[in-house]
Amino acid sequence: MAPGKNKAPVLSAGGYLIDTHALIWIGWQPEKLAKETIAILADHNNRLYYSPASIQEIAIKVDLGKPDFGFDPASLTEGLKEAGYIELPITSRHACSIRNLPEKMHKDPFDRLLVAQAREEKLALITNDEKIIQYCSDYIKIIKCC
């Protein structure tokens, strides 16, 4: 599911930020993905981004021995880059905008950063997180991945 010509880390509108679980499903359980998500991933005109926050979350969960995290985050990162996905750097602007998130959104710091990044960069967020879908759909564009 390589996105195509995603080489330069251009931060512009019109792309998709993929959340942590969606990244895992893309790599290891693509059968879980909705047809709309598969179409987005397969369209070579789409810019597909991942956040270092997702890689950090995965690394922490691997170290904690959490189920469903039995793989190497460095290998995932390498595979994403080889497939043309773009790493979206975390900026101070992203970090500061966390303060402006919807009040009822849960407090998971990784999810909060992903929503802030999507908002600041005008990216749609591909996620299956019900709380993000419920409380952030009016705040950012959401694509339900499963």
Domain that includes residue 133, residue range? 15-144
Check if the beta carbon of residue 50 is closer than 8 Å to that of residue 85. Answer: yes
- pLDDT at position 6: 42
| CA–CA distance, 33 with 144 (Å, rounded to integer) | 9
- pLDDT at position 13: 55
For residue 135, being part of any structural domain is answered with yes
- pLDDT at position 76: 92
For residue 125, being part of any structural domain is answered with yes
Number of domains, the chain = 1
Assign residue 120 the CATH number of its domain. 3.40.50.1010
- What pLDDT, in 10s, does the model give residues 29-67? 899 999 999 999 999 899 999 999 999 999 999 999 988
Q: What is the mean pLDDT of each run of 10 residues along the chain (146 residues)?
A: 42 79 91 94 94 96 88 92 96 95 88 96 96 92 94
| CA–CA distance, 82 with 88 (Å, rounded to integer) | 15
For residue 8, being part of any structural domain is answered with no
Check if the beta carbon of residue 54 is closer than 8 Å to that of residue 22. Answer: no
For residue 71, being part of any structural domain is answered with yes
For residue 32, being part of any structural domain is answered with yes
For residue 96, being part of any structural domain is answered with yes
For residue 10, being part of any structural domain is answered with no
What are φ and ψ of residue 118, in 5° steps?
Answer: -60, -45
- pLDDT at position 32: 94
